[in-house]
Structure 1
Amino acid sequence: MSLFSSRHKPHLAPALDDGELCRVVKALHDVRRPGMIGMTDLHVSRVSDLLRHTGADWDRRAHRLSVLARTTADSGVPSTWVAREPHRADALLLDAWARVVRGRSSGGLGDADAVVTSCHRAADLSPEDPTPWVIMLDASRLARWAPRRVRAVWHEAVARDRWNREAHLQLLGYLSPEEGGSLIQVLDFVDSLRGQAPGNAPTAGVELTAAVGQYRSVVARGGVEALMARDFWKHGPVSQALGRAGETWPRPGYLRHAAALADLNVLAYALVTAGRRGQAARVFTALEGRVTSWPWRLGGDPVSRFAYERARAVR
């Protein structure tokens, strides 16, 4: 009998282990089906109810909004909702983040002012919520705002939620060499976080996310460096971070934030690229077949790559 049941067959899981979000996301796909009259209004109600029930759990709220923005970006849900309730913070934020998602797909954010205006309006309506500032951080990466402006937005976000995962990942992206920053800036940011954040904070995956980016840069250079890329994981803070994560993260209940399974996917990818399949096996078991597109898409089809590496690790 196979170690993994059919229930654990690898599959993309953008909602991760959030059952309520998963049900809404599944229903949202009906928006694109022809002849589904009135479905957009129904889905607006579903999204509205989900976000209202999320309350002031800022970590889960950012996770849900980010997934919903990606899911609805090419539908009429965000625009319909914000037209219906222009003074509802949730509607403003979903519409703003969906605009950023579309901008990322097209390679540029043509309506940055509209995004900023919506976020400021949402911030006025819900002053304690860090999410408007998180979305502006995402927009800043496309619009390439000046560092001073980005830092001001960053401070607003973390003043409201010190270890906000999404805010940290957005700033990491802004600082990366691929987006106009530098490796030194990334390392300084990671060093600062390592010295302050609890090991199981929502920001736990930031260091390994940065390390995967560095590893991929080594691979992309080709030649001898690419052939020796596995050695990247054997030295210094990167090796220590990978070892700590491999030991602690798979423990039941250790990671409790909304996107913990996304960080476990990053960990599984890092462990297999480092040749540490024994540790990776525990992570794959904990994931129960739930796959995130990144970082597995770096090696081709994410589900196929996940399945291949899981089969090699779990024997």
Structure 2
Amino acid sequence: MSPPPSPPGRRRRRAARVFDAALDDTDLAAARAQLTQGRRQAVRALLARTGDDWDRRGHRVTVLAEEPYCAAWARDWQLTEPDSADAAALLALALVRRCLRGKEDPGRAREACADAAARAPEDPTPWLGLLQLERALGTDFDVVRAFEQVRARHPEHHHAHHLMVARLAERRAAAGPDPLHEVYDFASWAAEQAPADSPVAVLPVVAHAERYRVLAAGGFAPPDPVASGHWSGDRAREALRAAFDWWLEWEHEGHPRRLVDLNYLAHAKVCEGRGAEAAALFQHIGGHPTPAPWSYPDRDPYAAFHTARDRALGVRRPRRAGLTEV
């Protein structure tokens, strides 16, 4: 006998827990929906319109590549248009995603990234794909090499800097807390090198969150980030103040990954105990939470985000029978 269907409210609650990597890029979401139906024309047009907006291109290709059958569709596209740099980049990042799921040989993914890079030497996106792969599987040398190739083509590449910070934060994990850890220096250096209006300015906040992830996973910090005290030191307070001031001045409504930064900044403000500033950030995040850093170190990111947001905004959710309040 099959189990009875879930109550409608519970089905809606479960569906709402899905995080959308497209964030608020409605054109990307529409093209992805077409791709899931085996239609690539919308993706072809989307990437053509994106042009050399490298942060947006990297974001869009990465999100499209996450679709389970993207590699097969990209191969078909490449057979139809063998000279298409867009098809080659999409195939490369799709093979990287398959490799990270354990369904593809790393060598084939690396070859696809090299092929895509050769077709469009100015495009950092194939190197971003390689950086995603090496961040998970490669040596420090491989990671740095891929990052430098991205940065040579786009010095402020947002996603690449986040990947580099995440990898650096994991170095010497067994040594425990270190206020002089290299990830902090790297993030500060990158922020100082970037133009004043660059979202790389938020990178020191990202470095603190990634370092907390590593310390908490190793048992060197409490599993509750708010109670950890990790955001209470002088370095953390200075980084948070500078990043929040940058957001007030520049904001960057049009940046494709700005919501990633806002989630890191809101999380940090919650951990710092600055509820009013966190509330302002939650208002701008709206319905676009990201799994990181709300999942750190091993939390339910949906529950952590909504609990923090409701507390900052003064929202009280009524308890309902059969549902867990979050």
**SS of the residue aligned with 1:123?**
helix
Mapped to 2, the partners of 1:17 and 1:181 lie a distance apart of 38
The alignment's TM-score, normalised by the length of structure 1, stands at 0.81
Q: Say whether the 8 Å CA contact 1:130–1:156 is kept in structure 2.
A: yes
**2:317 aligned partner:** none
The question of 1:158 aligning with 2:157 is answered: no
The question of 1:84 aligning with 2:80 is answered: yes
In structure 1, give the amino acid aligned to 2:29.
C
**Structure 1 pair 252–114 and aligned structure 2 pair: CA distance change class (3 A):** same
Which structure: greater helix fraction? 1
Distance apart, 1:65 and its partner CA: 0.9
Structure 2 stretches lacking a partner, 5+ long: 1-15, 315-326
In structure 2, give the amino acid aligned to 1:70.
E
**2:290 aligned partner:** 292
**1:71 aligned partner:** 67
**What is the CA deviation profile of residues 195-222 of structure 1, one whole-angstrom value per residue up to 9, with x for unaligned ones?**
3223531423322222112223343455
> Which is further off, 149-158 or 265-274?
149-158
> Which is further off, 60-69 or 292-301?
292-301
> Which is further off, 80-89 or 305-314?
80-89
2:278 to 256, 270, 280: 280
CA RMSD of aligned residues (A): 3.0
**1:34 aligned partner:** none
Mapped to 2, the partners of 1:49 and 1:138 lie a distance apart of 25
**Structure 1 pair 110–91 and aligned structure 2 pair: CA distance change class (3 A):** same
- Which residues in structure 2 correspond to 1:174-253 (within 5 Å)? 174-177=167-170, 184-222=181-219, 229-249=227-247, 253=251
Distance apart, 1:121 and its partner CA: 2.1
Distance apart, 1:256 and its partner CA: 4.2
Distance apart, 1:282 and its partner CA: 0.1
The question of 1:303 aligning with 2:297 is answered: no
**2:129 aligned partner:** 135
The question of 1:167 aligning with 2:160 is answered: yes
Mapped to 1, the partners of 2:221 and 2:289 lie a distance apart of 31
**1:312 aligned partner:** 311
Structure showing greater relative contact order (alpha-carbon pairs closer than 8 Å, 6 or more residues apart): 1
2:255 to 249, 254, 257: 257
Mapped to 1, the partners of 2:277 and 2:307 lie a distance apart of 16
Distance apart, 1:17 and its partner CA: 2.1
**SS of the residue aligned with 1:76?**
helix
**Structure 1 pair 249–72 and aligned structure 2 pair: CA distance change class (3 A):** farther
**2:12 aligned partner:** none
2:52 to 47, 50, 56: 56
**Structure 1 pair 190–253 and aligned structure 2 pair: CA distance change class (3 A):** closer
> Which is further off, 61-70 or 194-203?
194-203
The alignment's TM-score, normalised by the length of structure 2, stands at 0.78
Q: Say whether the 8 Å CA contact 2:132–2:163 is kept in structure 1.
A: yes
In structure 2, give the amino acid aligned to 1:45.
Q
Mapped to 2, the partners of 1:249 and 1:26 lie a distance apart of 32
Distance apart, 1:50 and its partner CA: 0.8
Distance apart, 1:25 and its partner CA: 2.8
Distance apart, 1:81 and its partner CA: 2.4
2:97 to 80, 94, 101: 101
**SS of the residue aligned with 1:163?**
coil
1:18 to 6, 17, 25: 25
**1:35 aligned partner:** none
How many residues align structurally? 293
**What is the CA deviation profile of residues 146-168 of structure 1, one whole-angstrom value per residue up to 9, with x for unaligned ones?**
51x44333322211111111221
Mapped to 2, the partners of 1:24 and 1:178 lie a distance apart of 38
Mapped to 2, the partners of 1:84 and 1:196 lie a distance apart of 42
